[in-house]
Amino acid sequence: MKSKLIIAAVVAALSIPAISMAAPSRPGGYVSGFLGASMARDADSTTIDYGTLNTCIFVGGTGGYDFGYVRVEGELSYRHAEIKSVVDRDTGDSYHNMDGNLGALAMMGNAFFDLHNDTPVTPYFGGGLGLAVLNLSDTYGTSASTGSRDFLYSEGNDTVLAYQAGAGVEIALNRKLSLDVGYRYFGTSKATFDKDISRTTDLKLESHNVAVGLRVKF
């Protein structure tokens, strides 16, 4: 009987760390930082069609409050896409060897729902709304039909509405620190560039984003 009690006590003692790891983090404030990749969708403008945008860096941080099963946070993030090719919708001419980029600085308010369970891995889903400052650089490209180096877009920026939705998993490292692996679909309303000339350019940014980050609970 005594040996059985000793064995039970040892098993219980060894189980404490696992139980501690599996327990969901207590409610409270937190901050996080993340780094990943943003895969922009082809952007259709009012003047010239973007053919493709290169995969770019996606970086940012958040600060918020965890209520236990719901988290609300503010997010500041940046995406940057190099323009890879352009196709003129009127003439069908394509442009390569591009020199130009499209960036987005986003300020979002998010809400995420945590699906706590008996493991250190907590799935979550949610989304957010906010504003994004889109910045288009001076853009040049080489015409496939003539070989000439043409000026396509003027530098400009515009602030537009932004939205995102996604899901991910939080992997608890301890009760204060966790690893966050997530996906976000990000989009904006149409931004208008070249407002001071007769031919304006309207376009919106849509992208698939994956990132890995660290979250610290206070």
Give the pTM: 0.80
Q: Write down how long the chain is.
A: 218
**Listed range (50-54, 112-116, 150-154, 192-196) with the worst mean pLDDT:** 50-54
Number of domains comprising the chain: 1
Query: What is the rounded distance in angstroms from the CA atom of residue 53 to the CA atom of residue 83?
Result: 5
What is the arithmetic mean of pLDDT over 60-88? 92
Q: Render the burial of 103-142: b for 16+ CB within 10 Å, e for the rest.
A: bbbbbbebebebeeeeebebebebbbebebbbbbbebbbe
Mean pLDDT for the stretch of residues 164-185 = 96
CA nearest neighbour of 79 among 192, 212, 207: 207
Phi, psi angle pair for 22, to nearest 5°: -75, -20
In CATH, what number is assigned to the domain containing residue 194? 2.40.160.20
Q: Give residue 178's pLDDT.
A: 96
Tell me the per-residue pLDDT of 133-171, one tens digit each, with 9 for 90 and over: 999 888 888 888 888 898 888 888 999 999 999 999 999
Report, as an integer, the average pLDDT of 191-202: 70
Task: Return d(Cα 198, Cα 68) in angstroms, integer.
Answer: 53
Q: Which residue has better confidence, 194 or 72?
A: 72
Q: Which value, in Å, is the radius of gyration of the alpha carbons in the chain?
A: 24
At residue 64 the predicted structure's pLDDT band, cuts being 50, 70 and 90, is: very high
First to last CA, the chain: 45
What's the pLDDT at 43? 67
Residue owning tokens 């770019």: 56
Q: Which two tokens stand for residue 178?
A: 């966790």
Strands (E), the chain: 28-40, 49-53, 56-66, 70-87, 94-99, 101-114, 121-136, 139-143, 149-153, 156-172, 177-188, 191-193, 201-203, 206-217
Q: Would you say 214 and 176 are in contact if contact means Cβ atoms under 8 Å apart?
A: no
| Residue 213 CB-half CA count within 13 A | 27
- The CA angle 124-27-165, to the nearest 5 degrees, is 25
pLDDT of residue 5: 33
Q: Which two tokens stand for residue 3?
A: 């040996």
Domain range for 74 is 2-217
Please say if the pLDDT value at position 45 is more than 90. no
